[in-house]
Amino acid sequence: MTSTITILHTNGCGGAPLAIEAGTAVAAQHDDVVVETVLIEESADAIERGFRGSPTVLVNGSDVEPDSQTPVGSMG
C-alpha cells in the first residue's frame, strides 16, 4: 500500500521548502511513499483540503498536527 505525504502551502511560504525536503527524504528511503505538493491559492481550496496554515502536512489525508488550534481554511 502506498502512503502519500501531502504538503499544502501558500505562495512564498518560508516553511514549505523544508517540509518538502523532509517529505522527499522520507520518500527516498521508502519505495511505498510518494510526496505531493499543493499550492493553496483560495479559501475554498483551503477548506476542501483541510489547510490550517502554511505549510500543512498530511499523511494519507490526515493532518500530522490534528490538535492544531488554527481553524481549517485559515489563509493567513
pLDDT digit string (tens) for the chain, length 76 residues: 999 999 999 999 999 999 999 999 999 999 999 999 999 999 999 999 999 999 999 999 999 998 989 999 988 6
- Max Cα separation, the chain? 35
- Please state the pTM of the whole predicted model: 0.93
Q: Which residue has the cell 505525504?
A: 5
SS3 31: coil
Backbone angles phi, psi at 35, to 5 degrees: -120, 135
